[in-house]
Chain A
Amino acid sequence: MWLNSATVITLDRVTKTYPKSRRPALDDVNVNVEKGEFVFFIGPSGSGKSTFIRLLLKEDTATSGQVLVAGKDVATIRPWKVPQLRRSVGCVFQDFRLLPNKTAAENVAFALEVIGKTRSVIRRVVPEVLSLVGLEGKENRYPHELSGGEQQRVAVARAFVNRPLVLLADEPTGNLDPDTSIEIMRLLDRINRTGTTVVMATHDSNIVNQMRRRVVELDRGRIIRDQARGVYG
């Protein structure tokens, strides 16, 4: 198949069937995501959104078909190269996944420490990214001292601090009130404008309708709609 060099994510006839499950979680899915795009993956629970994200991170492997991230077939990545893949894909989740015993700054710094960045890089980059997500002055607060929206900002900062190729967001507004959700969406939009591809799984119809970006709708593992500037439907 023809592959544009600017294609960041390609799923080519991907099927994923979990053991002990009759119905495939993803069923013959074809989708391309271009560099710089902002794509919503929508659909009810169990429609295959999370499986899609797990495949991109090589937390699972497809039963059949090809998954390409930045032109590389994820299935052929050797185990010791998997960390490299994950460094090029930033992740944000519904439950924030922050370390409760570390401050906002330390949470972001942790992500840099564990990939071996030097202290001087960390000292320079962490305040930068925290101010980018609008957390100036709250660097030394612990997660429990921050609101849900602020915690999600820390998580976005952590995902973005390595300037990933793609930012994957799995229901990032699932635990937030509508106003806070809009703020997080503005932040993701701002990150998207820096050239970072954003892929967001959600079932928040408000947000999808307001943003008017590409919408890929999944239902029981199949793509039933792929629409530029779409609405929730």
Chain B
Amino acid sequence: MRAKFVLTEAATGLWRNVTMTVALILTTAISLALLGAGGLLYTQVNKTKDLLYAQVEITIFLETAVTAEQKDALQQKLESDSEIKSVTYESKQEAYERFKELFADSPDLVENTKPESLPESFRVKLKDPSEANAIDAKYKTEAGVDQVSTQQELVGRLFDAIDAVKNLALVVSLVSGAAAILLIGNTIQVAAYSRRREVSIMKLVGASNWYVRLPFILEAAVAGLIGAILASVGLAIAKVIVIDDALEALGQNSVVPSIGWSEIAVTAPILALVAVVTAGITGWTTLRFYVKV
């Protein structure tokens, strides 16, 4: 194999059909960027889940008329429950302190709320956060319990939103991926047509199939690789401009963890691999139909 020969042929091919090459690279880049975004969102959802679950607390609010015996019995039961990691009692005064902190922005509301009007509660952390509903069912009928708040609904809605964005990104990625594959096929057909003289002579003098086809396949693979590089750059820019800014606005203690550089660094080579392999397979398949031995 004469590497220089094959590479020169591939480079010439890309340049000869430059408008198509640009279209191919851009489509590939968009498709891969969305695929990468989908992948990043997927890991993001998992990370967020872990983080949220670690913080998830079940709050068991007590009735105003709860008796001291009921409280003791409940606390004992909670502490002996094998599903529960820790239990903290929160008095009316503690609830008021937390309330003041939470609504520090609305002094009127704080002023008009008296500690007595806030319920006492047990704050419970679970060993397995996904068991929250079972705990809810178990304790909401206990004597002295007013209601159990599991935060499940809030968390669920957040995940639904992230999932929807992820799925949208993946669907658009698939559609533009299909367009990219068609463009690869077309680019190779055009290249094979414009080089039909060379190809016929190569076959005539007994060039092996690899020698005839490799320049075309490399052409597609290189275009795919450039697309992958653009897509990775796009993701990096999106991280800095969109994601980082948005998360900063949510504040330092946000439950949504930031997308790190390490994740972008892992995604980029995966995108490059996907691009090169897809382009190669598409190229090979196209050539089976257009460059016969």
Q: Is B158 interfacial (CB-CB < 8 Å)?
A: no
Instruction: Tell me whether A114 and B293 are in contact (CB under 8 A).
Output: no
Q: Is A183 in the interface zone, CB < 8 Å from B?
A: no
State which size class the interface on B falls in. Answer: 10 to 19
A-facing residues in B164-213 (Cβ within 8 Å): 197-198, 200-209, 211-212
Chain B's closest residue to A85 (CB) is: B206
Q: Are A115 and B197 in contact (CB under 8 A)?
A: no
- Asked whether A110 and B293 contact (CB < 8 A) given A80-B208, A116-B211, the answer is no
**Is the CB–CB distance between A115 and B293 below 8 Å?**
no
> Does A158 make an interface contact (CB < 8 A)?
yes
In the complex, how many angstroms separate the beta carbon of A95 from the nearest chain B beta carbon? 11
Interface pair A115/B206, CB less than 8 Å apart: yes
What's the least CB distance linking B293 to chain A, in Å?
Answer: 5
Given the contacts A82-B293, A83-B208, A114 and B1 also touching, CB distance less than 8 Å: no
A19 interface residue, CB < 8 Å from B? Answer: no
Give residues 76-111 of A contacting B (CB, 8 Å): 79-80, 82-88, 91, 97, 99, 110-111
Check B201 against A83 for contact (C-beta < 8 Å).
Answer: no
Q: Which of A83, A97, A113, A119 contacts B200 (CB 8 A)?
A: A97
Within 8 A of B (CB), among A34-58: 57
Q: Mark B73-107, 1 if CB is under 8 A from A, else 0.
A: 00000000000000000000000000000000000
Min C-beta distance of A63 to chain B, whole Å: 19
Which A-B residue pairs are the 7 nearest by beta carbons? A87-B206, A86-B206, A114-B207, A111-B205, A83-B206, A114-B202, A83-B208
Could you list which residues of chain B lie within 8 angstroms of chain A, going by C-beta atoms? 1-2, 5, 197-198, 200-209, 211-212, 293
Task: For the A-B complex with A97-B197, A97-B200 known, give 15 more contacts whose Cβ atoms are closer than 8 Å.
Answer: A57-B204, A82-B293, A83-B208, A83-B293, A84-B206, A85-B206, A86-B203, A111-B201, A111-B205, A113-B5, A116-B2, A116-B208, A158-B205, A159-B205, A162-B205
